[in-house]
Structures are given as C-alpha cells and as structure tokens.
Amino acid sequence: MPSRRQVTLRDVAREAGVSVRTVSNVVNDFHYVSTATREKVEEAIAVLGYRPNRSARSLRSGSTRTLGLVLPEFSQPYYAELADAVFASARTAGYKVLIETLGPDGEDAIADVVGDLAVSTDGILVSPTFLDGTTLAADDCPVPMVALTARSVDAGFDHVAMDDARGSELATEHLLGLGRRRIAVIGSAPGFARHGLTGEARYQGYLRAHAAAGVTPDDGLAVGTLEWTQGSGYEAVQELDRRGAPFDAVFAMNDLLAVGVLHALQDRGAAVPDDVAVAGFDDIAMASHLSPPLTTIDPGMRQIVDTAIRLLLERIEGTRESEGEEILVPPTLRIRASTGGPA
C-alpha cells in the first residue's frame, strides 16, 4: 500500500480548477477540450504526479488493457523468445501483459490457470507444450483466447501454430538429401505419448520425408525422451550407442535436445557433420552460435505471435465473430555447419 495517499482525478480537477469530467477527457484523449484547458490540466497532472488508478479504471470500464500469457517456463529459450515477441507485439497495440507459468511439466491444471487469469485480462494467449482436445475449452475462459499450439478438436477458440509435421519433414528431407540413410530421431517415438500432438506431428514429418524418398527408417533409431532438454539429448545419444544402432544423422525435435546431442557426439569423438549430421527444431538464438552452428527449423515464431495477437484483438474488439479456426504458419529450413552448411 502506497505510503503517500494516492493522487486522484478529483485532486487534479481541483488543482486545475475544472471538473473531473474534463480531466478524464484530457487523460483519455476524448472529445474536444480547449487547448487552454488541456494545458492547465496537463500542468496539474505533472505537478501532482497523477497516475490513473488502473483498478478503478478497469472496474468501471470492464476493460483492463492487459493480455494474459500462459506458458510453461521462461528457461526454455523458445518460450523466452516467445515472451519477448508477445511483449513487443502487445505493447505496440497498447496492452500490458500478465504472465502465468505452468511449471516445466505443466503441473498446474491449465484450465484453472486460464480461468484465474481471465479475471484480470481482456484476452488470453495460451502456449503450453501441447494441448489435447480435453485439456481446455472455450468455456473455461470468459474472455477470448487464442492457443499457440496445434488443434486436435474444435474447442471453440482460435489456434495459431507452427506446422510441426512440415518442419520436421523439411529437416529430414535435408538430411536425406545429404545422402544420410540412418537418421536417428530424438524427442518423440512411436508409443511415446508424452509430448502430445507436437511430438506426434514431428515424428510423422520424419516418416513422411522418408516415404517420399523411398527410404524405410529403422525403428531402433527413434528415441523418446521425457524432457526436451540438453540433458535428455545427451542421454539419447548414449541410448542409441547402447542399442548398437549405427547412425549417420540426428534429427532432434528441438534445439535444446540438439545441444545435448552435439555435446555427446563431441565426447565420444564423432565429427559433426562428417560422421554425424545434426539438425534441430526452433531456431533459438543460440543455434547459430553453437560449435558447430546448428542446422534447424525456423518455425516462424514472430509471425505466429503477430497473427495470434491480431486475432485476439479482433475477438476482443468484437470484429471477429467466426468459429474458432486453426492457422498453420509455414516453417523454414536454416542450413548451417552442423549439416555441412556455411560455418
């Protein structure tokens, strides 16, 4: 609680010798206010150090000028970069951002977090690691909501997501194009449901590229990992070695896994890309600065965020009334030294 009593509209009005209505008009750039009055009011505001009370304003107007963002945690670089993009885009639109994190394992029930956040926001962006059809419905959220993950069933809100399958297909296609025929895939694997639609789609893209090239992938080269982190990437390589399954390339389902893969390969003396080519997914800032720089999939995160916020604002303003739809943003392959591209 502030030690000094808050300066209110009334104080400003008294100081400037006008009514609260006029001050409110000045503050909100409403209606016509004569230049002389405006200047008087602005001076009073400066003198008193007035700042509008956001709680009162929200209570009265029903709008908070705040967007909610729900994500797993900042420590995963993809989500950190996503958060920066959301802040930049929201700020441009004149909104603040209130964040809730779900914890690394999504331990908090997402519907609860969303419902709670909805009370203080005009609209919500949800970006869990994945979303299945039952986790979240539009009914859980009294304000508009846009998901930043792929859609399984129509739960009544918009989805703006990367095209996981297509990205994974691009990466695998690239590795096959280098003549690699034993491409390990790390992250998700058949019968490994932990990473939901995302893991499943990225695995399907891997299969699709093989099918298109007429190559039959060896099931023994697919390693599901509990987490998609550096440590898991490292252990996945050890697991492959344990299985005795030789491989000449690795497609890691995210860049963090790929960091662990590079580290493990270095430790056992394999040359990248000569012995093993490595590709990741996400194109985090670190990717181009690894040793060697990492070939990866740029999922178009900026475009995802900008589109999602645009849709969300349209819902908030009531200019978008259509059914919830799914927009998939096309990914781009970034070829770097880890698959023989330029250093």
Q: Which of 140, 148, 96 is nearest to 120 (CA)?
A: 96
Q: Where are the beta strands (DSSP E) in the chain?
A: 66-71, 96-101, 123-126, 145-147, 158-162, 183-187, 222-224, 249-252, 277-279, 296-298, 326-329, 332-334
**Binding residue for a second copy, selected from 22, 198, 230, 338, defined by CB under 8 A:** 230
- Would you count residue 208 as binding a second copy (CB under 8 A)? no
> Measured between alpha carbons, how far is 96 from 65 in angstroms, rounded to an integer?
6
* Cα dihedral: 41, 42, 43, 44 (round 10): 50
> Measured between alpha carbons, how far is 325 from 235 in angstroms, rounded to an integer?
39
- Would you count residue 75 as binding a second copy (CB under 8 A)? yes
- Would you count residue 48 as binding DNA (CB under 7 A)? no
Strands 249-252 and 183-187: parallel
Please list, in sequence order, all residues whose beta carbon lies within 8 angstroms of the beta carbon of residue 264, skipping any fewer than 6 positions away: 233, 234, 235, 236, 237, 238
Of 196-225, binders to DNA (CB under 7 A) are: none
Q: How many amino acids of this chain bind DNA (CB under 7 A)?
A: 31
- Would you count residue 232 as binding DNA (CB under 7 A)? no
Name the segment binding a second copy (CB under 8 A); options: 187-195, 205-213, 257-265, 300-308: 257-265
Of 290-329, binders to a second copy (CB under 8 A) are: 290-293, 316
**Binding residue for DNA, selected from 34, 219, 244, 322, defined by CB under 7 A:** 34
> Measured between alpha carbons, how far is 117 from 69 in angstroms, rounded to an integer?
9
- Would you count residue 91 as binding DNA (CB under 7 A)? no
Name the segment binding DNA (CB under 7 A); options: 55-63, 135-143, 222-230, 311-319: 55-63
- Would you count residue 120 as binding DNA (CB under 7 A)? no
- Would you count residue 48 as binding a second copy (CB under 8 A)? no
For a second copy, the binding residues (CB under 8 A) are 1-4, 6, 51-56, 58-59, 62-64, 73-75, 77, 79-81, 83-84, 87, 96-101, 115-116, 118-120, 122, 142-143, 230-231, 234, 259-260, 262-263, 266-267, 285-286, 288-293, 316, 343
